[in-house]
């Protein structure tokens, strides 16, 4: 599921970042309270799989495209999901949202933390955050040719609105 939330494309995804190890550890430590969401949601997810694809026994046996369709049916907040908005949030929807947040956390957490996410810093690489914790200017495109501070032109009176 994480691998569909942040898929591997031409750049690494949740799989390469070891998100699954992050989630394992999270559920044993700081996210203990979310275990319930996983326990209640998982059977509902599998039921949803059989409802949408009667020939498939479980989520992991579905193709990536089928998995995306299943997740789309659980996501009541994304654009295009408006039709399902009126439905009561089910355990499967809560489960999806919890996994979504955990996946993003596991992909982008400081790789030096004790959380075991963002393996080798691949998540930061994907979003363009350099791995260091110490930088010198120039920082980006717009400040690289900055000529230094020039006083405001002496226009003018204070132009109060």
Partner 1 sequence: MSLDQPKYKTTDEVDFVIIGSGAAGGILAKELSGNGFRVVVLEQGPYLTEKDFVHDEIKVLNQDLLTNHPELQPTTFRKTPQDKAKPQRALVYGRLVGGTSTHFTANFWRFHEIDFIERSKVGPIAGATLSDWPITYADLEPYYTKVEWEIGVSGLAGASPFDPPRSKPYPMPPLPVKSSGVIFERAARKLGWHPFPAPMAILSEPRPGRSACINCGFCLAFGCEVGAKSSSLATAIRMAEKTGRCEIRPNSYVHRIDLDANGRATGAVYFDAQRNVQRQKARAIVVCANGAETPRLLLLSANKQFPDGLANSSGYVGKNLMLNSGGVTTAVFDEPLNDYKGFAVSRILHDFYELDPDKVGFHGGGGLDARFDMTPIGFALSNLPPGSPRWGKAFKEVLSHNFTRSCEIFGHGTSLPVENNSFSLDADLKDAWGLPALRLTYKDHPDDLKLSAWLNARSAELVDAAGAKKIWAPPVQEQQFAVHLLGTCRMGNDPQTSVIDSDHRTHDVKNLFLCDGSSLVTSGRGQPTMTIEALAFRAADRITALAKRGDLPT
Residues that bind partner 1 (CB under 8 A): 4-7, 9, 11, 13, 30, 68, 71, 75, 77-79, 100-101, 103-105, 107-110, 112-115, 123-124, 126-130, 133-137, 139-143, 146, 149, 151-153, 155-156, 158-161
Nearest approach, Cβ of 58 to partner 1 (angstroms)? 20
- To which residue do tokens 């075991």 refer? 116
Helix (H, G, I), strand (E, B) or coil at 74: helix
Nearest approach, Cβ of 118 to partner 1 (angstroms)? 9
Residue 102 to residue 31: CA distance in whole angstroms: 9
Nearest alpha carbon to residue 94 among 75, 112, 78: 75
Cβ distance to partner 1 smaller for residue 54 or 153: 153
Residue 84 to residue 101: CA distance in whole angstroms: 20
**Residue 142, token pair as written in the block:** 């717009």
Nearest approach, Cβ of 14 to partner 1 (angstroms)? 10
Nearest approach, Cβ of 133 to partner 1 (angstroms)? 5
Cβ distance to partner 1 smaller for residue 51 or 110: 110
Cβ count within 10 A of residue 59? 18
Nearest approach, Cβ of 84 to partner 1 (angstroms)? 14
Cβ distance to partner 1 smaller for residue 49 or 122: 122
Q: Length of the chain in residues, anyone? A: 161
| Gyration radius of the chain's alpha carbons | 22
Cβ distance to partner 1 smaller for residue 85 or 146: 146
Pair 98, 34: CB distance under 8 Å:
yes
Cβ distance to partner 1 smaller for residue 44 or 97: 97
């Amino acid at each position: 599921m994480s691998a569909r939330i942040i898929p591997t494309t031409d750049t690494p995804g949740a799989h390469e970042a070891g998100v699954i190890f992050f989630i394992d550890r999270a559920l044993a430590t700081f996210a203990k309270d979310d275990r319930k969401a996983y326990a209640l949601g998982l059977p509902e997810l599998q039921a949803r799989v059989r409802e949408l694809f009667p020939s498939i026994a479980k989520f992991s046996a579905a193709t990536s495209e089928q998995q995306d369709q299943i997740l789309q049916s659980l996501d009541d907040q994304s654009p295009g999901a408006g039709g399902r908005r009126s439905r009561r949030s089910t355990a499967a929807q809560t489960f999806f949202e919890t996994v979504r947040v955990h996946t993003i956390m596991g992909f982008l957490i400081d790789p030096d933390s004790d959380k075991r996410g963002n393996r080798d810093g691949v998540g930061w690489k994907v979003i363009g955050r350099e791995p260091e914790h110490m930088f010198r200017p120039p920082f980006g495109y717009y400040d690289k040719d900055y000529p230094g501070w020039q006083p405001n032109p002496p226009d003018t009176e204070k132009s109060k609105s």
